[in-house]
Each structure stands twice: as C-alpha cells, then as structure tokens.
Amino acid sequence: MAVNGYKWLIPLGFLVLAGGAGAAPLQTHRAVYDLTLGRTEAASDIAGIDGRMVIEWRGGPGCGGYTSLQRVVTRVTGLDQSYMSNDIRLSYFEKIDGREFSYTRTEYTNGELTDRDDGVATRGDDGTIELSREEGKTLKLPASVLFPVQYHNALVEHAERGERIFELTLFDGTEERESPTTIFVSKQPDAGSDVLPDVKGVEALKSVAHWPVRVSYFDTANSEGLPNFEMGITLFENGIATGMTLDYIDLEIKARLKELVIFDDGTC
C-alpha cells in the first residue's frame, strides 16, 4: 500500500485556542474524534481506514504559554486485504508571546518506531525564525510564519472582519518547513446547536459562533502551485472543532467528534 504520501497527522493550526480581538474566551479541552474513510478514487489502493485522533490543549497566560498533545492512530486496509497501522504523536509548547515554539513528533508503523523529529523554533527581534532540529541541524524560516496559536488567532481575526479568502503561513512541527495555506471562510451561521453532534460536553458550544472553513495546504518545494491536501472543518470561535474532512487527490478521511472534555481555566 502506498500510504506514505498521506499526512496522517492533522495540522494543529486549526485545532487550537482562540484569543484574537473580540474572540470567545480561551477554552482548554480534550477532543476525541473517530476517523473513517470517505470518498475514494479508482487510483487509490486503499479499501478502508479506521482510527482515532485525540487533541488536548492546556495552558494560558498564567502558564507562560500553551501545551498541546496530539495522537492519531489509524489502521489502513489495502485492496489486497493487507493492512498497516500508524501511530503518530505530537507534543509541543508555544510561549505566550509567540517567540518560541518547541515540539517532539514520533511515528510508529506496525508497532515499530519509524520516524522521530524534535526542534525548537525561536523568533528573533527582526521577526525571522531560526529552527534548531535534532542532530544540530538549523534552518531559517521567514518572518511571515505563524506558530499554531498565532495562526488560529489570525484566522479568527480575519473571519470576524468578514474576510472570506486570505493566506497565512503555518509551522507546527508536522512538516520540516513552513506550510503556506489559503483559507476559505463561509458566512458565519447563527450561533446555536445546528452542527453539534449528540455527545457529552458539546453543550458548552451552544452559544459560541462558528464558521465552515476550508484550508488548502501547500508545499514550498511544489512548483506546480497545487495544494498537497485540503481540510474542511466546522470551527468554533473558542478553538473547538466538531468535525472535519481531510481531502487528498484520491481519497478523503472523515473525523467525527466522539467525546469532548472541557478543562478548568488556567489548567497547566
């Protein structure tokens, strides 16, 4: 099965806490999603996908920043009934002033460790970023790069101003370099429970504004100008997502909220 071309780890720029001007109060939480296979094309050699994704956010100003833990476990079945299991874990800390971002990412395939990456990205006085990775490797990232909390704050601010199409650049540790993105925001529906699944904890979202959002992710090395993949999401102003789809050229993965736990404010 040719599964290495798929980005199983969901970009964290979406699944973060809001904090922009006029945004809803920050909400730390744990969200659990079931993953299933949606659309497939004839070119795909994948017959099925099932799994689970867990996103946890803690922290805030009193903690000096935000801590996130993400884990995505999938079982991929091929047309020949072979299967592959993937277990990807990402943890990181982003300082409240956005000047430092540290992360560790590990990947297991069929129970064996197949990839590990960790790094620290530091923003200098001129805005440019130096990324120090394992084994002493360093590289420069442009000043336009936003870390996940910064990225989401900027997205919310654009959406609240009524902007429907805009571009932001993300670095969240899921790729070796930054990811340019184009964001499409649909008109904000009335606050309410029309998109809320029937799971415990979602009552906290009934009065929170939300948007249908779609993001195209690009590779800086791709000269064709086509996105690597696209993600659609129902995004609430406080950073919680109730559902999402991850679209590749030949298949789609769906994530459905299964469980939501709201943490007390200031939980570090």
Domain for residue 82, yes or no? yes
Domain for residue 179, yes or no? yes
Domain count, the chain: 1
Instruction: Tell me the residue range of the domain where 126 lies.
Output: 29-262
Domain for residue 197, yes or no? yes
Residues 266, 194, 187: CA angle, nearest 5 degrees: 85
pTM: 0.84
Domain for residue 64, yes or no? yes
Domain for residue 8, yes or no? no
Domain for residue 35, yes or no? yes
Domain for residue 111, yes or no? yes
Domain for residue 17, yes or no? no
Strands of 27-177, DSSP E: 29-40, 46-60, 65-78, 83-95, 100-109, 112-123, 129-133, 138-141, 145-146, 165-170
Q: Which residues of 243-258 are buried (b: 16+ CB within 10 A; e: fewer)?
A: bbbbbbebbbbbbebb
Spatial CA neighbour of 172 closest among 60, 51, 53, 14 = 14
In this prediction, residue 154 carries a pLDDT of: 87
Q: Output the tens digit of pLDDT for each of the chain's 268 residues.
A: 444 444 444 555 555 544 444 445 568 899 999 999 888 776 667 878 899 999 998 888 888 998 999 999 999 888 777 888 999 999 999 998 989 999 999 999 999 999 998 999 999 998 899 999 877 789 899 999 999 888 888 888 888 888 999 999 999 888 888 999 999 999 766 554 466 778 888 888 888 888 899 999 988 777 677 888 899 988 888 888 888 888 887 788 999 999 999 888 777 7
